[in-house]
Every structure is written in C-alpha cells, then in structure tokens.
C-alpha cells in the first residue's frame, strides 16, 4: 500500500474513533450537499431541512418524527446551533433521539439519547411533568452541518397540530407530512402565509415550502411568534372529533371546566363576607373579590397531563391559597357567583396578535383571564377594559394573575389582541379593547434654575398611570434604597452627559389603584453651552419621544407600541440674572391618525417655559404608513434637539 493511502486510512480510522463510527442518515447527507446562495454577514446559519412526519394510528395514537438540519455559517453561532432541545411530558414521550454532525473538514460525529441531559422545563410551576432533553452535538464549527432526528408518541386532548415553518434563520426546505387512517379527514388553517395545497404521495399528504426568508430583527417590531408563518392542522375520524372552529374550541374548554366552579360552605361564607353583604353595590363587591383573589392567591402552577389546560376545583384552590392563571380565574368566578355575579373564562395569549382569526387552535392560547358580567345600571366610570359580546352583555375583562394591574385596567400586552370568550354556546372570538391614551399617562412638571455658567438644577415631579407606570412600579418595588435611586438615574440619561441626583422620592408605590408619583432633584453642570457671550439652552430637559427606528435600511415589519398613551411635559427654567431671551425655537404641531405631537417654548419675564404633549393613538403602525411615521419622528427629533438662545442684557443688568 502506498504511504499516502496508508496515511489517509489512518486519518479516517482516527476520525472514526473520535466520532464513534458515525452513521449519518441519507436525508442529512443529502441536505448537507445542497448548494446554497450567498448570505449576508449577519446570517448565523441556514436551516437546510425542517421536517415533521405525523402518523395517526386507527386507535388515535399519534407518532411524529422530527428531522432538522442546519449549516453553521458564523463561528459565534456554533455553540447555540450545536445543542438540541427536545421538550416532552407524560403525554408526549420520546421514543428515540439521535444527533449527527458533518464538519467542514469531513469528520462525522454521532450522539444518541443516552448522551442527553434531562432537566425540568418548569419555571413558575410547583409540580409539572414538562421536561427537556439537551443533546450537545460535537463538531460544531463554522461550515459544519448539524442534524438531529427524534420521534414522539402522543395522544392529544384535541386532534390538532401546528407547523411553524419560519424562523430567525433562512430555511431552504420545510416539510410537513400527514399520514391518516382510512376514513379520517383533515382541515388546515394558515397564519401569516398564503394557503398552499398539499401534494399526495400514496397515503402521505405533504406540504412543502422552499426558501423561506428569515424573520429579521427590527426595533419596535411585533413579536416573532406574531409574524412567523404557520399552519394549524385538525384531523378527525370516527369517534375522534375535531374542535376545528373557535366555537367548538370554546365548547371543548367549557366541558373541561364544567365541574370546576363548585362551592363549599367555607368558600360561600368567605365570598359573602368579602363582598360586604347588602350594603355594598355590585361594583364594590366585584372590586373586593377581585382584589382578594389577586393579592391572596399565590401564583403557583401544578400542571401534569390535562392539568396544563384544566383548572383545579375552586374548593382546592381556596383551600391551598395558590394556583395558576386558570385557577385564579376559576376561584374568582365561583366567588362572584356566590354573590350573584356571572362571569366567563377568556382564553388569550401573552403575545399580542399571536392568535390569528383564520387559524383556530387551542394551541394559540397560553393564558386565561376573566370576563365579569356587569348588570344593567352598574356604573362604569373609571372602568376601561370593557367590551360588549354578541349577546349584548357588558363584560369587564380582568387579569387576576397580574398584581400590578388593578380592576378596570388590562395589561398592555393583552390589549387589542384576539381572545376567546368561553360561553354556554361555545367560543366567541373577539378583539380586546385598546385602552384610551389617558388611561396610560406620564405627566412631568419641572421647576428648574439655570446659572450664568450653564449649570441647571431643580426638581421634577412625575405622575404615571396605567402601562406608563406598571413596569416602572414593578422595578421600583423590586429594589430598595440606593438601588431605587439608580432606577431614577437611568431615566435621566438623555438629559445631560453629566448630572448628580440630589433627591429621589416615591409615593403610592405599592397601591396599584393609585397613580405612581416620583420626585427627583438634580444638578447638571454645563447643561447650557456657551457660544461667545451667548448661552444655548435646550428647553426639553428630559424624556425622549423620538425613536430613530425608521432611519437606515427599509423596514420589513410594522412598528408596534406597547400601548396608547398620553405624555405631557412642562418645564419652567428660571434664567440667570443678566441674561434675556434672544431667540426661541418654533412651535411644532404634527398630527397623524397613529399619533400626534405638539410643543412650544414661551418666555415670560425671566422664565423660559417649555410644554409639549405626545399622544400615541394606535399600537400598530402598518408598513404602508412607515413613511409618515418617519416624518413624524424626524419632527420630534428636531424639536428635542432645538435650543433657545440667551444673550446678555443691555448694560449687563
């Protein structure tokens, strides 16, 4: 044997030993040899194949084979793309799991299920059967192809599945194959993609999409899960009916919860005592019961099997004083019923607009809130989270899980999004209300003084309500002492390159039914800039409303705001002795259907007064309006940078 050949054999033997004599499957080899287009420097990898093969047995048992192959394009992506994460639970058992790699130099590796590390997937759950297997595949480096395959056996509570075929990397081929028993049928529903018809290959029903673009990261874009292309699939046969409409999904959930709201003497007595008897109005009863459940039932989830969907009984929840979102709704609903007030479950997703009307699926929901029926004549002043259902009932939405949001309000991520009202006749899909701008307000008022060397000092008071205060309040509550001062300092970063916080006070921090008040004092040296004998001072002292997200590359996605809001600033700056106003910025008035902005600067004696109002009217600005949004932000940016010119008074007085 020639020396070169012997050396080549030795190298192959050593590589085989390191790789454990890898047996790379044909589907992975074929994907690895796919010729690829050129990708930009930001693309960390490309998915060569993403495949699901779902087989339904005549008895209703389901087996799904998952195959996935990705080519690593950048070294900084190697670690993340070389780890397989496979979720499972008691209802979705893994029957096998394998992974392989083919390096750029031709080495091949194989790992098996015995090499995986298993961990709990529970986060806030006390008891859960949700688990994850982590499988690290060696050989991950730029140019390597990583592949894995696993099979799950599952018996669904509802015969449906979801195929998500778009992700943050480009996808060369995504394929879903369905194999049904004789006599079974299916229905497909599409979200964020036009419907495509499947191909038939014997008993296989195959959907395939090629060259799917990556979802690019953009500031203020909608959440990934709200815009990714996906298909919801329902299949059904004799004795295995599908809940393939929003109405039937609601009927299924109603049957699942039909016996959950049952009372006990202890629960009845507690509800009546909290409600205050005949002396209390309906609204007072609702407020007291809602607040009690919100504050006294700890969020702890016990989710095993159907427990991921079905709440515990009201009696169990009351006895243990803990539960997850659906448990807290169940208990509150039963306590309301004990004092004569009706309510319904509402299924919703914590990602706004994840639920797509054209794709009915129980998998579209990950949260439960309550809809409380307000009897005719109940005052609704101050209650913002209201809607009227198809039966003309006035319903008040409330999330007892979120202890930062009071009754009458609604967490911002649950506003203007599709939700399912579960009533006696089944499910009714509706759009949750968008609370008006003044329900989410930030009002700032500052009394400030400028000295001749340009130093600015003084005090600013803030009042925050609704979504404008929720996150800030939660952050303040999580901190103490000097850490709270740092939270306030972070807000002042747009004011000046250097400043010193001299005062920090917070009021009504714990009472979420009241506005949050914050007061802070500061000194900012050289805030005003000298230009010869002139002083240039920026009247907009603090707070940035301009988002420079529209500049640069053309955007692909809409802009999403957290909430509608009303924001107002009034800053009064006492001018230094010996100076007077020489020039003021022009007023700004910009009005669009999605937002408006108005500002002006006035001089009154030795005081400079800056006032502005910024109103966000819509949470979604579609791509067709992005040019207008760019103009709007540019007007705000120009106003925020504008300066007033001060000159020495004649005679130096």
Q: Where are the domains of the chain?
A: 3-236, 246-433, 438-652
What per-residue confidence (pLDDT) applies to 250?
95
pLDDT value of residue 9: 31
Q: What is the model's pLDDT at position 496?
A: 60
Q: What does the CA dihedral 522, 524, 528, 529 come to, rounded to 10 degrees?
A: -170
Cα-to-chain-centroid distance, residue 509: 25
What distance in Å separates the CA atoms of residue 43 and residue 208, rounded to the nearest whole number?
23
pLDDT, position 493: 59
Confidence at residue 484, expressed as pLDDT on a 0 to 100 scale = 75
In this structure, the number of other CB atoms found within 10 A of the CB of residue 310 comes to 18
Q: Given strand 117-120, what is the order of strands in its sheet?
A: 83-88, 131-136, 117-120
Two tokens, residue 536: 């240039």
Q: What is the dihedral of CA 55, 58, 60, 63, to 10 degrees?
A: -20
- Segments of 24-157 assigned E as strands: 45-56, 62-72, 83-88, 92-102, 108-112, 117-120, 125-128, 131-136, 145-154
Under CATH, what is the fold of the domain 246-433?
A: C8orf32 fold (3.10.620)
The C-alpha atoms of residue 554 and residue 213 are separated, in whole angstroms, by 16
Specify the DSSP element, H or E, that contains 591.
strand 588-591
Low-confidence ranges of the chain (pLDDT < 50): 1-20, 124-126
Name the E strands within 267-377: 298-299, 301-303, 322-323, 343-348, 367-373
Q: pTM, whole model, 2 decimals?
A: 0.88
Question: Alpha-carbon distance 148 to 150, whole Å?
Answer: 7
The continuous run of DSSP H or E covering 17 comes out as: helix 3-19
Contact call for residues 167 and 217 (beta carbons, < 8 A): no
DSSP 599-631: EEEEEETTEEEEEEEEEE--SEE-GGGHHHHHH
Q: Is 3-236 a domain of CATH 2.60.40.3140?
A: yes
Amino acid 575: pLDDT:
96
The whole-number pLDDT of residue 203 equals 87
Residue from 121, 145, 122, 119 nearest 134 by CA: 119
The pLDDT value recorded for residue 368 is 97
pLDDT at 8: 33
Q: Class of the 438-652 domain?
A: mainly beta
Q: How far apart are CA 254 and CA 177, in angstroms?
A: 32
Burial bucket for residue 226 (CB in 10 Å: 0-12, 13-18, 19+)? buried
Specify the 3-state DSSP secondary structure of 334: helix
Interatomic CA distance for residues 300 and 507, integer angstroms: 30
Instruction: Please report the pLDDT score of residue 305 as a whole number.
Output: 56
Predicted confidence at residue 652, as pLDDT, reads 57
Confidence (pLDDT) at 589: 98
């Amino acid at each position: 044997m020639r020396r070169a050949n012997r050396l080549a054999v030795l190298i192959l033997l050593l590589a085989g030993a390191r790789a454990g004599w890898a047996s790379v499957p044909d589907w992975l080899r074929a994907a690895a040899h796919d010729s690829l287009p050129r990708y930009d420097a930001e693309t960390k990898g490309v998915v060569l194949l993403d495949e699901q093969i779902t087989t339904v047995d005549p008895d209703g048992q389901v087996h799904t084979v998952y195959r996935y192959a990705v080519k690593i394009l950048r070294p900084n992506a190697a670690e993340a793309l070389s780890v397989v994460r496979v979720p499972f639970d008691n209802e979705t058992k893994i029957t096998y799991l394998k992974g392989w790699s083919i390096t750029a130099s031709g080495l091949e590796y194989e790992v098996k299920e015995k090499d995986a590390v298993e961990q709990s997937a529970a986060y806030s759950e006390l008891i859960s059967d949700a688990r994850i297997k982590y499988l690290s595949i060696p050989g991950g480096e730029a140019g390597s192809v990583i592949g894995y395959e696993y099979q799950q056996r599952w018996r669904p509570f509802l015969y449906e599945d979801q195929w998500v075929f778009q992700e943050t990397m480009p996808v060369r081929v995504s394929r879903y194959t369905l194999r049904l028993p004789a006599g079974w049928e299916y229905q497909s529903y599409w979200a964020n993609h036009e419907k495509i018809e499947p191909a038939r290959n014997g008993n296989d029903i195959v959907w395939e999409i090629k060259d799917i673009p990556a979802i690019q990261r953009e500031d203020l874009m909608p959440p990934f899960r709200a815009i990714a292309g996906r298909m919801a699939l329902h299949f059904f046969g004799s004795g295995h009916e599908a809940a393939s409409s929003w109405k039937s999904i609601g009927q299924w959930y109603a049957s699942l919860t039909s016996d959950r709201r049952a009372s006990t003497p202890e629960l009845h007595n507690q509800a009546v005592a909290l409600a205050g008897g005949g002396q209390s109005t309906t609204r007072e009863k609702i407020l007291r019961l809602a607040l009690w459940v919100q504050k006294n039932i700890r969020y702890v989830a016990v989710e095993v099997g159907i427990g991921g969907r079905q709440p515990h009984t009201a009696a169990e929840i009351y006895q243990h004083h803990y539960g997850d979102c659906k448990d807290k709704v169940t208990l509150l609903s039963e306590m309301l019923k004990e004092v004569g007030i009706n309510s319904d479950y509402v299924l919703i997703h914590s990602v706004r607009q994840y639920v797509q009307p054209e794709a009915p699926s129980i998998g579209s929901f990950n949260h439960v809130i309550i809809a409380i029926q307000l009897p005719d004549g109940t005052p609704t002043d101050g209650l913002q989270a209201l809607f009227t259902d198809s039966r003309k009932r006035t319903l008040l939405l409330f999330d007892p899980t979120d202890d930062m949001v009071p009754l009458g309000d609604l967490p911002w991520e649950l506003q203007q999004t599709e939700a399912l009202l579960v009533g006696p006749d089944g499910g009714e899909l509706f759009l949750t209300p968008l609370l008006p701008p003044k329900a989410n307000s930030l009002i700032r008022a500052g009394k400030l003084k400028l000295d001749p060397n340009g130093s600015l000092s003084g005090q600013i008071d803030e009042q925050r309500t609704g979504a404008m205060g929720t996150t800030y309040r939660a952050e303040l509550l999580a901190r103490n002492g000097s850490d709270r001062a740092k939270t306030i300092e972070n807000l002042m970063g747009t004011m000046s390159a250097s400043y010193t916080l001299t005062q920090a006070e917070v009021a009504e921090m714990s009472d979420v039914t009241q506005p949050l008040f914050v007061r802070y004092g500061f000194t900012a040296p050289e805030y005003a800039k000298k230009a010869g004998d002139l002083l240039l001072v920026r009247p907009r002292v603090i707070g940035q409303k301009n988002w420079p997200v529209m500049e640069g590359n053309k955007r692909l996605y809409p802009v999403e705001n957290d909430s509608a809001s009303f924001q107002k600033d009034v800053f009064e700056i006492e001018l230094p002795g010996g100076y007077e106003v020489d020039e003021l910025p022009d007023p700004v008035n910009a009005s669009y259907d999605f937002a408006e902005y108005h500002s002006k600067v006035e001089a009154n004696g030795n005081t400079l007064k800056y006032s502005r109002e910024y109103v966000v009217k819509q949470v979604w600005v579609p791509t067709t309006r992005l040019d207008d949004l760019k103009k709007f932000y540019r007007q705000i940016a120009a106003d925020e940078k504008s300066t007033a010119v001060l000159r020495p008074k004649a005679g130096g007085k």
